Amino acid sequence: MTEFDTIQEDFASLDEWEDRYRYVIELGHELEPLSPEAHNDANKVRGCVSQVWLEKQLRRNAAGETVLHYRGDSDSHLVRGLIAIALALYSDQTPKHIVETDAMATFRALGLEQHLTPQRSNGVRSMIERIRSDAVAAA
């Protein structure tokens, strides 16, 4: 089971949206730390109301394929949690997998899209577009 599968199961077990919001915030606390040096203009994601940084590293998986590894951070607790969900879906995946995965449909399936403000939804889209753009460039 992937980390994202676990997130989906945990989401399904929470009935109230307030509990789901708390869970998203908890996920943000579990993000791999982003160094102070990585909080730079090159890593900053444009189009987000909150400040968001995504740092990318190209790595090799056990099969020798290129994968994109991400670390992320935000000045918002909720957005840090949204980053954690996106990274659970995309980090350490091949460029091909990233391009073929519809993260917005996944966020909709979790019920997140309809419970986020339009500004937060735009921020999520900006993060996803950044990751997909990185994948296309790495392919």
Q: Which of 24, 48, 52, 79 is catalytic?
A: 48
Residues 6+ apart with CB under 8 A from 138: 58, 66, 68, 95
Structure letter (DSSP) for residue 108: H
Bin 66: left if φ > 0, else alpha if -120 < ψ < 50, else beta. beta
Q: Which residue has 């966020």 as its token pair? A: 107
CA 128/CA 82 separation, integer angstroms: 11
The amino acid at 99: V
- Asked whether 41 and 32 are in contact (CB, 8 A), the reply is no
Phi, psi angles (nearest 5°) of residue 39: -80, 65
48 is catalytic: yes
Which residues are designated catalytic? 48
